[in-house]
Amino acid sequence: MEAVKATAEGTTTIETRKVKAFGTEASTAPLQPLNIQRRTPTPYDVEIEILFCGVCHSDLHTVRNEWHGTVYPCVPGHEIVGKIVSVGSHVRKFKTGDLAAVGCLVDSCRQCDYCKDGLEQYCEKGNTGTYNSPDKYLGTRTYGGYSESIVVDEAFVLRIPENLDLAATAPLLCAGITTYSPLRHWKVKSGQKVGIVGIGGLGHMAVKLAKAMGAEVIVYTTSPSKFEDAKRLGADDVVLSKDESQMQRYAGKLHFVLDAVSAQHDINAYLRLLRVDGSLALVGAPEHPLPVAAFSLIPSRRSFSGSMIGGIPETQEMLDFCGKHNIVSDIEMINIQEINEAYEHLLKGDVKYRFVIDMKSIKR
């Protein structure tokens, strides 16, 4: 098939081919097999056979239109690991046979100040997400990693350290960079005390990363059953956040807190853990606003901020850091035919700590 792309010089024809995928046609429909169109590689593209794709809670939110902006059909997936099967004539960084990864972004304007600084996630004109974003080549929407292959500009493709397990690397492309970016931005280092709130898909990665950065890591959880696992992941101490006496243990002593909880919770209880000039960064996304008391901030010059994913340079830095410290996600492997059941487990928090799809199952 062919698609016509408008350019400043006129129009150009983009060839496409049919690819197997899993997606949905409506917010209330289950995910099921679909055929989608992928462009054939342009001179700057690489084509990747997808080997593994992580399952992010964002996939579920988008598929079910919980963030009110989904265009159907929708094929989610932005934690992609695979093998390059073809490259465009101008590609210089990759060759056929290389292992490669794709995260949450597949393009941006590349001209604004943020893009020039490697902060494509904050692109002034709006970045192009790996799925459910306008596709400038085909005029449709981008389709994600729940598919047998993907075509991406080499500028948005990442290298995978050779020593890392491929399947367990996939969640690093979202869960990993979402937690690495704020830890890096707020300069977490040896000698600091760092609190991690919540120990799910994001929180378990934050524990591993903060520990590898040299910090003393304290995990906050509402579940006594997670104490042992938090210690296994590298936590130096674990606090039951429902116990006020335990919450006093580090009051005013933490340099940094990373809050990965998306449920409603008392943010002031964690702000009060910070020492003078301490910062709390929110990466969880509660549905409703979190009330912040002025005097949780003012007396100790504390800061309350948010953070999202990183740009392409920082994501590559994160992968290299994980390679150096042998860090990957804790995963449960599934076949693509089990994705709807996996979503139900995800809703219940019944996964340790990230589902990853073995994408060879899509060929069944």
Assess whether pLDDT exceeds 90 at residue 199.
yes
CA dist 216 and 117 (Å) reads 31
Assess whether pLDDT exceeds 90 at residue 227.
yes
- Quickly state the pLDDT bin for 359 (edges 50, 70, 90): very high
Q: What is the pLDDT of residue 5?
A: 52
Strands 216-221 and 237-240: parallel
Listed in sequence order, the DSSP H helices in the chain are 57-63, 113-116, 166-169, 175-185, 201-212, 227-233, 244-247, 267-271, 312-325, 339-347
Question: pLDDT tens digit string along 228-255?
Answer: 999 999 999 999 999 999 999 999 999 9
Coil, strand or helix at 149: strand
Tokens 């300069």 correspond to 187
What average pLDDT does the chain have?
95
DSSP H or E segment with residue 194? strand 193-197
- Quickly state the pLDDT bin for 8 (edges 50, 70, 90): very low
- Quickly state the pLDDT bin for 6 (edges 50, 70, 90): very low
Tokens 């000039």 correspond to 277
Region of residue 316 (left: phi > 0; alpha: psi -120 to 50; beta: else) = alpha
- Quickly state the pLDDT bin for 2 (edges 50, 70, 90): low
Domain annotation for the chain: domains and CATH numbers: 2-172+330-363 (3.90.180.10), 175-306 (3.40.50.720)
CA dist 71 and 73 (Å) reads 6
- Quickly state the pLDDT bin for 314 (edges 50, 70, 90): very high
Assess whether pLDDT exceeds 90 at residue 292.
yes
CA dist 318 and 330 (Å) reads 17
Residues in contact with 294: Cβ distance below 8 Å, sequence separation at least 6, in sequence order = none
Q: What is the pLDDT of residue 4?
A: 47
Question: pLDDT tens digit string along 162-186?
Answer: 999 999 999 999 999 999 999 999 9
CA dist 363 and 335 (Å) reads 11
Q: Extract the tokens encoding 136.
A: 């400038």
Tokens 């591993």 correspond to 208
Tokens 């799925």 correspond to 131
Q: Extract the tokens encoding 167.
A: 């399947």
Question: pLDDT tens digit string along 112-153?
Answer: 999 999 999 999 999 999 999 999 999 999 999 999 999 999
Assess whether pLDDT exceeds 70 at residue 202.
yes
What average pLDDT score do residues 344-359 get?
93
Q: Extract the tokens encoding 264.
A: 């409603």
CA distance readout (Å), 135 to 9, 128, 151 = 19, 8, 12
- Quickly state the pLDDT bin for 7 (edges 50, 70, 90): very low
Assess whether pLDDT exceeds 80 at residue 9.
no
What average pLDDT score do residues 14-31 get?
95
pLDDT exceeding 70 applies to what percent of the chain?
Answer: 97
* Closest alpha carbon to 36 in 56, 21, 55, 57: 21
What average pLDDT score do residues 36-42 get?
95
Q: What is the pLDDT of residue 226?
A: 92
Residues in contact with 8: Cβ distance below 8 Å, sequence separation at least 6, in sequence order = none
**DSSP letter, residue 339:** H
Q: What is the pLDDT of residue 364?
A: 83
- Quickly state the pLDDT bin for 317 (edges 50, 70, 90): very high
Q: What is the pLDDT of residue 88?
A: 96
AA letter at 244: E
- Quickly state the pLDDT bin for 13 (edges 50, 70, 90): confident
Q: What is the pLDDT of residue 14?
A: 84
